[in-house]
Structure 1
Amino acid sequence: MTFTGAELDDLVEAYHTQGFVIVPNLIPPDLLPDLTTAADRVVDLARSGGWQQVRTVGKPFPPWNETDTDIWGVQNVMHPDLGERIFSEWYGSKDMLDVSARLMGVTVDDMQFELFNLLINPLHSSYALTWHRDTIKWAASPSEEAEALQIKHHGIQWNTALYDDDCLWAVPASHNRIRTEEERTAGETGGGGDVMPGAIKVELKKGETVFYNNNILHVGTYNPAVKRRTLHGSYGSAPPGDTSRAKGTLQHDIGYTMDPKFKDGLSEELQGMVDRLNAMQKLVEGQEVIYAQD
C-alpha cells in the first residue's frame, strides 16, 4: 500500500493530536496468512513450555515468572532460536517502516530496532493490566509527571491485529498532559477499561495497526474466550549516544541482538537498525536496568 502525502499528513496529525492512530492494510496481503500461522505456532510452543520468554497472568510488567502456565504474551518473536523469519519480514516491511518514520518525524535511516512481541489471550483467566503510562510511574506527583512528559522519548509503539482485537483501551489526547484527580483515582482502583473517565476501546479489524505514544493513558484487557494474536512492538529514533530508550527496552531481555548471527538474512535496513540498538546496549553495559514501573 502506498500513501499519498496528504494521507500521511492526516495520519501524523491524528497521531500527535490524539496520541494514537489506526492504519489499515500495512501487512502485505501475501504475508498475512503466513504471519497468522507463525503466530499460532509460536503460541502453541510457548503454552507447552517449549518457549519460556513469556508474559504471565497476574503481572503487568517484567520480570515475569516463566514457570507460570497461563500467559498473555510471548516475548522476542524474532529471536533466532524460534526460527520464524516471517516476523522479520513484517517488522522490516517498507510501508511499516515508512509510516513509523513519518509519525516519529525521522527518516528510516534514523530508526532503531527494539521490541517485537506477541499479545495473546490467556487460556484460563480473564485479566486486565493496570492503567499506566509505559515510562512514568503511576505514583508520580503532578510536578514529576509534568517534567517527565516534557522529555522526548524518541520512539513509537504499535499493535497489529492478526484477528479482530478490542483489548486496548486508551484516553485520547492524554499523552501530553498530567492526569486529572479523577483519572489518578480511577487508575488506582484497578479494573478494566471502563473505569477510566474518557477512555475509549481501540477496536482493530484483522490486519489493522494502531500506533500510539506510550505516554498515553492506556490499559490492556484479556479475555480467555476470544482468540487474540496481536503483534506488539516498537521502534526507536534516539540520536547516537542517547540512551533514553534503554530503560524501557532492555528490560525485555533482548541481548540476543548482540549475537552477530542474528543479523544474518536481515535486510540492510534492519541490520542498520540492529546496529543502532547494539550501540546503545554497549553504552549502558554493566549498568543496572531499572524497570519502568519500579
Structure 2
Amino acid sequence: MAFEFSDRHIETYQTRGYTVFEQILPATLIADLRRVTDQAREMARDEGGAQAQRIQPIANYDLEAQPFRDYADLPELVDALSRVLTPRHRHGDLEYLGVLFEPRDLPWATHWHRDWRDNVAGLPLDMWDEVFADIDYFNQINCALYEDSSTWVVPGSHLRRDLPREIERFPDRPVPGPEVDGKTYEERERTCLTYCQSMPDAVQLHLEAGDFALYRNTLWHIGNYVPHKKRATLHDGPKTPEFIRFIEEAREISVKRREAGHGMENPNA
C-alpha cells in the first residue's frame, strides 16, 4: 500500500512524541540501501569489533552515496517531514546520517535516556531546558530497512519533566543500564527485555521494512538489540541551522566542563 499522509501524523507527533510514515520507502530504494548497508555493517565491525552497531557519518566512509542521496531527495518523504515539522527541516545530510545494526555475538541494550540530558556528560542542563520543547531542536529518525522493533519509548514524555515514578526508577546520573556482564546469551536477552519493561508506561515501537519513524529524542527512549534479528536502520535527524549550532556549542562546552571535572548533571537533584 502506498504511503498516504494524514493529519494523524501531525497529531501523534505533537501528542505522543513520535509518528511513523508507513512504507514510505519504495521497494527499489530499500533494495539499493540494503545492498550498500551490508557493506557498511562489515566496515563497522572491522572498525569497532563484533558488537559494533553503528557507522556514522556516512560521509566518512567509502560507500556508494547515491542510495543515501535518493533517500534524502525522496519527494514523498521531504513533503511529509515539511508538514509535520517545517520546510526548513532537512534530513539525509551525509555529514550526520548513520546506520544502526544488530550486534554480531550478544544481546545488548542502551540505558533509558532523553538525548543530550542523560547521555552527554558535562552538558549544563539549562542549555537543554531552554530549548527542549522547541520544534527546531531534538528531532530524530529511525528508518528501517528490515523489520525493527528495537526502540522503546514513553509516549508523551517529550511534553513534560520526569514524573515521580520515573524519578523513583532512575534517581541517579548516569542512568545505569541493564546488568549483563557474565550472563549467557539467553540471560542477556531476558535481562535487557526486563530492563526495557521496567520503565513505567513504556511501549515498543514496531517498524516494517520501509517505515520511517520520526520522534522527539527528548522523550524517554531506549534501544534493545539481539544478534538473531538482522537490522539496518538509517539513523538521522532533520536538522535546522539552530540545532546545528546547538550541537556544536554543546559539544564544545561539554568537553571543557569535563576537563574541568564536571560530570553529568542530575535533573532530579
Q: Does 1:288 align with 2:257?
A: no
Residue identity (%): 26
**Residue 35 of structure 2 corresponds to which residue in structure 1?**
37
Question: How far off its partner does 1:98 sit?
Answer: 1.4
Given residue 93 of structure 1, which amino acid in structure 2 is its aligned partner?
A: L
Q: CA RMSD in A?
A: 3.0
Question: How far off its partner does 1:143 sit?
Answer: 8.8
Q: Does 1:237 align with 2:240?
A: yes
| Larger proportion of strand | 1
**Residue 59 of structure 1 corresponds to which residue in structure 2?**
none
1:149 is aligned, of 117, 132, 143, to 132
Q: What is the total number of aligned residue pairs between the two structures?
A: 231
Instruction: List per-residue Cα deviations over 1:37-78 (Å, max 9, x = no partner).
Output: 11112112332x2xx4xxxxxxxxxxxxx4x44201111224
2:158 is aligned, of 175, 179, 197, to 175
Q: Gaps (5+ residues) in structure 1?
A: 53-65, 251-283
**Which residues in structure 2 correspond to 1:98-113 (within 5 Å)?**
98-104=79-85, 106-107=86-87, 111=90, 113=93
**Residue 66 of structure 2 corresponds to which residue in structure 1?**
85
**Residue 24 of structure 2 corresponds to which residue in structure 1?**
26
Instruction: List per-residue Cα deviations over 1:83-136 (Å, max 9, x = no partner).
Output: 3321121122111211112111x225x647462111111112211111111122
**Residue 192 of structure 2 corresponds to which residue in structure 1?**
none
Given residue 252 of structure 2, which amino acid in structure 1 is its aligned partner?
A: E
**Residue 202 of structure 1 corresponds to which residue in structure 2?**
205
- Following the alignment from structure 2 to structure 1, what is the Cα–Cα distance between the partners of residues 135 and 208? 31
- Following the alignment from structure 1 to structure 2, what is the Cα–Cα distance between the partners of residues 162 and 115? 18
**Residue 190 of structure 1 corresponds to which residue in structure 2?**
177
Q: Verify the 8 A CA contact 1:145 1:178 in the aligned structure 2.
A: no
Question: How far off its partner does 1:211 sit?
Answer: 0.7
- Following the alignment from structure 2 to structure 1, what is the Cα–Cα distance between the partners of residues 40 and 96? 16
Higher relative contact order (CA 8 A, sep 6+): 2
Specify the SS of the correspondent of 2:105: coil
Given residue 31 of structure 1, which amino acid in structure 2 is its aligned partner?
A: L
Instruction: List per-residue Cα deviations over 1:194-213 (Å, max 9, x = no partner).
Output: 11000000011111111101
- Following the alignment from structure 2 to structure 1, what is the Cα–Cα distance between the partners of residues 205 and 135? 25
Q: Verify the 8 A CA contact 1:182 1:197 in the aligned structure 2.
A: yes
- Following the alignment from structure 1 to structure 2, what is the Cα–Cα distance between the partners of residues 178 and 158? 22
Report the TM-score, using the length of structure 1 for normalisation.
0.69
Q: Gaps (5+ residues) in structure 2?
A: 179-194, 256-262, 265-269
Q: Verify the 8 A CA contact 1:78 1:88 in the aligned structure 2.
A: no
Specify the SS of the correspondent of 1:166: coil
Question: How far off its partner does 1:82 sit?
Answer: 2.1
- Following the alignment from structure 1 to structure 2, what is the Cα–Cα distance between the partners of residues 156 and 89? 21
Q: Verify the 8 A CA contact 1:159 1:232 in the aligned structure 2.
A: yes
**Residue 158 of structure 1 corresponds to which residue in structure 2?**
141
Specify the SS of the correspondent of 2:156: coil
- Following the alignment from structure 2 to structure 1, what is the Cα–Cα distance between the partners of residues 118 and 227? 28
**Residue 223 of structure 1 corresponds to which residue in structure 2?**
226
Given residue 23 of structure 1, which amino acid in structure 2 is its aligned partner?
A: F
Question: How far off its partner does 1:246 sit?
Answer: 3.6
Q: Verify the 8 A CA contact 2:157 2:220 in the aligned structure 1.
A: yes
- Following the alignment from structure 2 to structure 1, what is the Cα–Cα distance between the partners of residues 65 and 128? 40
- Following the alignment from structure 1 to structure 2, what is the Cα–Cα distance between the partners of residues 219 and 184? 16
- Cα 1:195/1:144, change in 2 over 3 Å: farther
Specify the SS of the correspondent of 2:254: coil
Q: Does 1:133 align with 2:114?
A: yes
